[in-house]
Structure 1
């Protein structure tokens, strides 16, 4: 049974619901776990961001990198979790994972797949605002990955999700920069030339430069670090962490202890 955050579905009463975006991803939810389907780019991109999340958590919380389950004892929230491509690896690393998505179809896909894999993940159909309204306990780690460019009010969404990070915890944001290069590669190239993504997946007007993300997180009481770039190597088909933030980038933002 899918748990729904009361009042968080239906009409877009909150900034993070954009009905067009919800419908777009609901229509292809069943393909989330097909590595050759519409979400193939995410499957290719996943290893580098999973490694980044693990290494960031180990460094921040002082965890032994050799631990089999380094995230054991940590509560982790994946906002806009889609079909669970990040939730499942995080659960295998030992985290108590909550995955939230505004599309109930995505949540049903994620829940079904997790059950097939024997994983216990707290999946909910709803929004960050719904969690806040429900008085959800704060999280050690909040993942905000490739979501901010799909919401109705990106700055408010960043501030809302930041409020779910406990003192001493951290948020990781991954999104696309608002540059000509990002338009050419992530939109024109990926959607219209190479066909990696369905046309219309991204709206360049919603892309955010790193300074906007950092300002929003800082205003919410977090301490954003220098962004890390994520670059694609066409010859090998691999993604890697670089200093080039002109297209994809990730920002780690801890919340200081009082």
Structure 2
């Protein structure tokens, strides 16, 4: 049995394939990601720039870096990375996401290598990257440790992984399941399984078990008055993000 068969959850993939065509509609089913994206990008670019000593004010600060956006969806993160000069591979286990991402990249004049594949398959093929963006994926896989180990294998020594997910506590159930899916209807019911949410300490432990060195974590906090997201050093109660480095 191939490693990829141990982490991909077919039921989870089917959910996102059903929503594939709506990836670039800022008012559609992926509205929460469009709202969160500037905050995600702020964290990602800051961490990657610091790890590789890049100046974000330069014209193409990530030139020469090879970045993998695993679970790329429609390319909401792949495209900004390409605009910053990186060589970008966008991979997704949901096949229908890939043509959506490819068409949008072409319309945007960007060259991005989109693939219908898994982290395990790419690691088995010996692919190597300077950075892996692993955003809102780990809560959807069948074997988080196996999946994170494959992501570690995809990194060059000294490479960085940015991994975000949802905390597991009563507040995250209220906000992500009841609020986002049932009240606001930002996402279809059943998009998330609260039992698969991972606490920050659990994720740090999983990252360490996979062979990574966790170096940072912050919360993504939604302000319902300003209707915007921000980064927080203290509030990791619902959405949060981590940075970890592969030992060199």
Match of 1:186 among 176, 179, 182: 176
The reply to whether residue 19 of structure 1 matches residue 10 of structure 2 is yes
Q: Deviations over 1:172-230 (max 9, x none)?
A: 00000111111110111110111111111100010011112111211222110242111
Q: In the alignment, which residue of structure 1 is the partner of 2:81?
A: 90
Cα drift, residue 13 of structure 1 = 5.5
Match of 2:115 among 111, 118, 124: 124
Q: In the alignment, which residue of structure 1 is the partner of 2:62?
A: 71
Q: Deviations over 1:24-46 (max 9, x none)?
A: 11111011001111111110000
Number of residue pairs matched by the alignment:
247
The reply to whether residue 198 of structure 1 matches residue 188 of structure 2 is yes
Q: Deviations over 1:6-58 (max 9, x none)?
A: x98xxx96222111111111111011001111111110000010111111111
Contact 1:16 1:127 survives alignment (8 Å): no
TM-score (norm 2): 0.96
Structure 2 stretches lacking a partner, 5+ long: none
Q: In the alignment, which residue of structure 1 is the partner of 2:222?
A: 232
TM-score (norm 1): 0.92
Contact 1:142 1:165 survives alignment (8 Å): yes
Quote the Cα distance in structure 2 between the aligned partners of 1:80 and 1:58: 22
Residues 96 and 155 (structure 1), Cα distance of their counterparts in 2 relative to 1, 3 Å cut: same
Q: Secondary structure at the match of 1:183?
A: helix
Quote the Cα distance in structure 2 between the aligned partners of 1:164 and 1:13: 14
Residues 240 and 249 (structure 1), Cα distance of their counterparts in 2 relative to 1, 3 Å cut: same
Cα drift, residue 112 of structure 1 = 1.0
Quote the Cα distance in structure 2 between the aligned partners of 1:77 and 1:17: 18
After TM superposition, the runs of 4+ consecutive aligned structure 1 residues lying more than 2 A away are none
Q: In the alignment, which residue of structure 2 is the partner of 1:223?
A: 213
Which shifted more, 65-74 or 176-185? 65-74
Matches within 5 A, 1:132-143: 132-136=123-127, 138-143=128-133
Contact 2:4 2:120 survives alignment (8 Å): no
Cα drift, residue 68 of structure 1 = 2.1
Q: In the alignment, which residue of structure 2 is the partner of 1:171?
A: 161
Q: Secondary structure at the match of 1:161?
A: helix
Q: Secondary structure at the match of 1:170?
A: strand
